[in-house]
Amino acid sequence: MSVWFGLYSEARFHPWYRSGWLGIFFLSLFILAGSAWGQGVTPAQPKPQTKKTTRAAKVQARKARVRAILAAPTAPDTATGAAPRRPVPTARPGQRPGSAPTPPVRNISPDPRDPQGPPPPGARNAGQARVPGASQKPVPDTLAPGGITRGPGDSLQLSVKRKGQVETTIKYAAKDSIQFDVTQKVARLYNKASVEYGDTDLKAALITVNYGNNTMLADGKLDTLKHKLEGRPVLKDKGGLYTASSIAYNFKTKKARVSEAVTTQGEGFVSAAVIKRLPDGDINGLQGRYTTCNLEHPHFYIQAKRMKVIPGDKVITGPFNLVIGDIPTPLGFLFGFFPMPSRSRGSGIIIPTFGQAADRGYFLTNGGYYFAPNDYIGVRLTGDIYAGNAQSFGGWGATADVSYLKRYTFQGNFNFRFSTRPSNQILVNDAVSTGQVYIKPPAANAFWITWNHTPVPKPGGGRFSASVNAGTSSFNRVNSIDARRFLSTQFNSSISYSKQIRNSPVNYDIRLSQAQGTDGTMTFTLPDFSLGVARQYPYQWFGIKPGAGGKLGKVYEQFTLSYNLTARNEVSNTIAPRTLSNGLPLLGGTTAENRIPFSFSNIGKLLRNGRNGMQHTLNIGLGSYSVNHFQIAPTVSYGEVWYAQRLNYSFSPVAQAIRIDTTYGLYRINNYSAALSLNTTFYGTVVRKGTRKIQAIRHKVTPNLTYSYSPDFTTRKSVYPQPDLYGLRNQFNELIPPSQLQPVNGRNPYPFNSFNNFIYGAPGGAKQSQVSFTLQNSVEMKVRDPNDTTGLNPFRKASLIDGLDFNISYNFAADSLRLSPLGVNFRTQVARKLNLNSNASFEPYQRDSQGRAVNKYLFEASPRRLLRLASASLQATYAFNPTTGKKKSVVRRPVALPNDPSLGTVGPTNYYADYVDFDIPWELNLSYAAGYTTNPVPLKKGEMRPPILALNTVRADGSVKLTENLRFTYNFGYDITQKTITYPVLSFFRDLHCWQINGTWIPFGVTRGYLFTISAKSSLLQDLKLTRNRYAQYQ
């Protein structure tokens, strides 16, 4: 409106009050419609302003300025691309600082000297609104450099503060004082100063911070009395920790120059005369040293003129040499590469171990590659090679080790080892020698497989587990000196899957197993299946609720049923001797045991030598009833065995031998039995009053009396046939009368079994009506606990006798020898150190001249006695050390594996086997085993009396701490009967701070020899070692 008013004035029109009614009408119309060309222009001659009008003018000015900024297009400078700077308006007098300045009131009346017409291109009025008719081309932006430059389409324009040199807060601290020089932009910190800037932490005796060039300079303080630098600068950032005499650091570029620096990189320490730290964290050093010794003056180090360190990755050097005890050695190379183990798994090369074996020459072992494809599996592939001599190659070996893990599901390890070596000793004699006396033996191949798989138990899920130890029978004898594996004669393997069916009492188990002996015997069970049904209560099948039957319900509610099924197929390479238990000759029979070699061509023979069958067992529980402190429990069981074949016997009078034929089909053999048990428990207690240490002694006695019955199953001809033996002759070639071939009292003089040597045998047997009695005893006492200071638990229990058990039985259905031997078992622990376990068997019957038991009791003979000791055994173990009875120390020493080339991963790894506990000064473990068996056959003239104790051995193992860093261990046994030492092993360990020495000596046996290793402790330098060994038998 004011614009139009001004235009009227410029056209020399009369004022509106002189224009008449027509002028007034047009003026009112334009007032209501508003102006389309501009707004906010102040009249040429404003009226005097009041406070209210001044405040309104300020508000309108601010709004006009914002609208102008949002509507105005901008254009970058043609030269620099940035808008030209314009003076920033300041606040007017009386205006609040920091608020937008109010534009001054301007007189926009046209100068009469200016030509009239359309405004020039890009013309603006005071309010920054576009003037009608102006050009649409963008004009240069008037914002300061560093602001936001937008194109014509931008609808928002914000100013951003210019980025300075310091990006975060700098924290200062000093014990003495802090000085600031504002003009020089320098801060000085004295005495135990520290500066924290983001991830950078610098501590020193003196620190100077220069803001002008963004640097920090740290120095130590020289003690004039001790002539020692104190308060050494320590710099800590993402690149590591640096200790030096002087540090210059640029906190903008992250570069640093460190003099006389020492930095920690993983397990190693890097020191150099000058270190330059690069922005990416890498380190370049001059006159550098690399060591794993944590002393200020290290015992050894690798010295190089130039060195580069990539933190957490590797150390790379130029030509270097090894310095031990400040004495340079000729050991070195043209360059050095020392990888650092990171926390994350990765693949890499495994450096082999060099050494020499007495019978296979120089070797390189355990070299290969470790492959880590992900976080769940790791594969280690290594190989061995032996030089041998000029006449014979020493052989080679390969190992594949796979470890896998899936969290909360399973974990396992698979190891396969293969080796070729001379089958005989290369040395002519069996003595340990280094001479060049060799022979040329043939090569022998051997392998060993170890697999361990352990699942994580989950409710309602199946469980798959595996424990496999199988391979060539002689593998451990010729490839290991480990006592446990070398002396083992039996190795077992098993792979199984078991599952409890959800919401069901049924569970099943499928198992594949193998038993292997060092003598070449192997037995496979493929498969072994079992299915079981948990105890069931039949009354619940009819919907009867507990307690609904009253007194009668208390009886039938205790009836239970349980079922178990097993099926097994067994294959063995051992052919048992073909003989008959009745002593008759057998056609094609053998008395010697034979073995079938395992090969593809012998699979048919192995399968024909197999045994299989199925067994069913149904147990019926009739409840348990209490009668005057006694528990009575009757049970009934029923079982069946199913076979797919049976043996048929026939007699050949011409050959005077029995012929066996095998027929195939389904053959069922059942059996059943019943039992009734009566048991109770009573106590005898002695209580001592007062405050004595022993408060009470209690004797617990548990007797059990059981009667069992099963009928006579020997009369079944389908199981125990009686072939026609007419024409059989005795040892004098005399014809045996037919009357002597007929059964007597239901028993055949020459019994036969159609299922002889079958996997489950022939169930049942002779009639049994037997009473068994067992008596269990234990003695314990209550003693005052001296360690209790609260009074809440003043006493504790201590066992005097863990068990003293007796058992004996009497069979009323037997025709002779009805009373069984008396069995006695005793076990206890004395003072938490000595464990005793003893077993004995006593016979009640006399023996004849052939050592056979006769149906006469010993008390009927002269001199009279009740029982005779038939056999006995004793096992005693004694383990003690200064901390016996307390929790044994398990502190792990920071030492690495000794890398014994004679040992391999052939089973679950014992991670603590090679660690030495110096906290225990000594320990001793003693074990003694003795066994006695009576000789029932009287000695003939000239025969030597056998030893009283068939087993009489003692074994000791332990360790002794000779000095603070030297420990000696021993392990040996002695056979008292044979008067020989069994497999002694002596070893020592010497801790040399950053080095270690291991030694093992086996003085006797086929594996006699020694092993000596000196090596660095750190795993970074695990190949920095010297190994020397001499074994008579060595992998």
Contact at 8 Å (CB) between 258 and 218?
A: no
pLDDT tens-digit series, residues 791-814? 677 778 888 889 999 999 999 988
pLDDT at 618: 92
Are both 319 and 368 inside the same structural domain?
no
Model confidence band, residue 121 (pLDDT cutoffs 50, 70, 90) = very low
Are both 849 and 745 inside the same structural domain?
no
Residue 780 covered by a domain:
no
Contact at 8 Å (CB) between 599 and 583?
A: no
pLDDT at 333: 81
Q: Is the pLDDT of residue 590 over 80?
A: no
Q: Is the pLDDT of residue 127 over 60?
A: no
Q: What is the mean pLDDT of residues 110-117?
A: 46
pLDDT at 412: 92
pLDDT at 413: 92
Helix/strand/coil for 1019: helix
Residue 185 covered by a domain:
yes
Residue 709 covered by a domain:
yes
Q: Is the pLDDT of residue 726 over 90?
A: no
State the burial class of residue 67 (Cβ atoms within 10 Å of its Cβ: 0-12, 13-18, 19+).
middle
Q: What is the mean pLDDT of residues 228-255?
A: 84
Are both 313 and 364 inside the same structural domain?
no
Strands 443-455 and 139-140: unpaired
pLDDT tens-digit series, residues 448-469? 889 999 998 887 778 899 988 8
CA distance 476 to 1035: 9
Per-residue tokens: 127: 């309010």
pLDDT at 481: 60
Are both 360 and 274 inside the same structural domain?
no
Are both 331 and 368 inside the same structural domain?
no
Residue 598 covered by a domain:
no
Per-residue tokens: 815: 């025709």
Q: What is the mean pLDDT of residues 686-701?
A: 83
pLDDT at 529: 93
Contact at 8 Å (CB) between 1006 and 983?
A: no
Are both 397 and 510 inside the same structural domain?
yes
Per-residue tokens: 760: 């489950």
Are both 222 and 209 inside the same structural domain?
yes
* Domain-ending residue, one of 140, 159, 187: 140
pLDDT at 714: 81
Model confidence band, residue 149 (pLDDT cutoffs 50, 70, 90) = very low
CA distance 197 to 187: 14
pLDDT at 1031: 58
* Domain-ending residue, one of 310, 339, 368: 339
Run of H or E residues at 270: strand 268-277
CA distance 540 to 547: 12
Closest CA to 643 of 685, 620, 615: 615
Contact at 8 Å (CB) between 277 and 265?
A: no
Residue 367 covered by a domain:
yes
CA distance 643 to 163: 92
What is the number of structural domains in the chain?
A: 5
Are both 749 and 840 inside the same structural domain?
no
Model confidence band, residue 416 (pLDDT cutoffs 50, 70, 90) = very high
Q: Which of 174-183, 890-899, 961-970, 991-1000 bottoms out in mean pLDDT, i.e. has the lowest?
A: 890-899
Are both 868 and 1006 inside the same structural domain?
yes
Q: Is the pLDDT of residue 821 over 80?
A: yes
| CATH code of the domain covering residue 330 | 2.60.450.10
pLDDT tens-digit series, residues 914-955? 555 656 678 888 899 999 888 766 666 666 666 677 788 898
Number of H helices, E strands in the chain: 7, 54
Residue 898 covered by a domain:
yes
The percent of residues in the chain predicted with pLDDT above 70, rounded, is: 73
Q: Please provide the average confidence, as pLDDT, over all residues in the chain.
A: 76
What type of residue sits at position 523?
T
pLDDT at 486: 66
pLDDT tens-digit series, residues 963-972? 888 888 888 8
Are both 882 and 954 inside the same structural domain?
yes
Model confidence band, residue 769 (pLDDT cutoffs 50, 70, 90) = very high
pLDDT tens-digit series, residues 4-24? 333 333 334 444 444 454 455
Are both 263 and 207 inside the same structural domain?
yes
Q: Is the pLDDT of residue 862 over 80?
A: yes
Model confidence band, residue 49 (pLDDT cutoffs 50, 70, 90) = low
CA distance 360 to 733: 63
Residue 149 covered by a domain:
no
CA distance 66 to 88: 15
Domain span including residue 77: 37-140
> Who wins on pLDDT, 251 or 874?
874
Strands 139-140 and 74-75: parallel
Q: Is the pLDDT of residue 365 over 70?
A: yes
Are both 294 and 366 inside the same structural domain?
no
Model confidence band, residue 703 (pLDDT cutoffs 50, 70, 90) = very high
> Who wins on pLDDT, 447 or 165?
447
* Domain-ending residue, one of 739, 754, 771: 771
pLDDT at 945: 64
The 8-class DSSP code of residue 744 comes to: B
Residue 858 covered by a domain:
yes
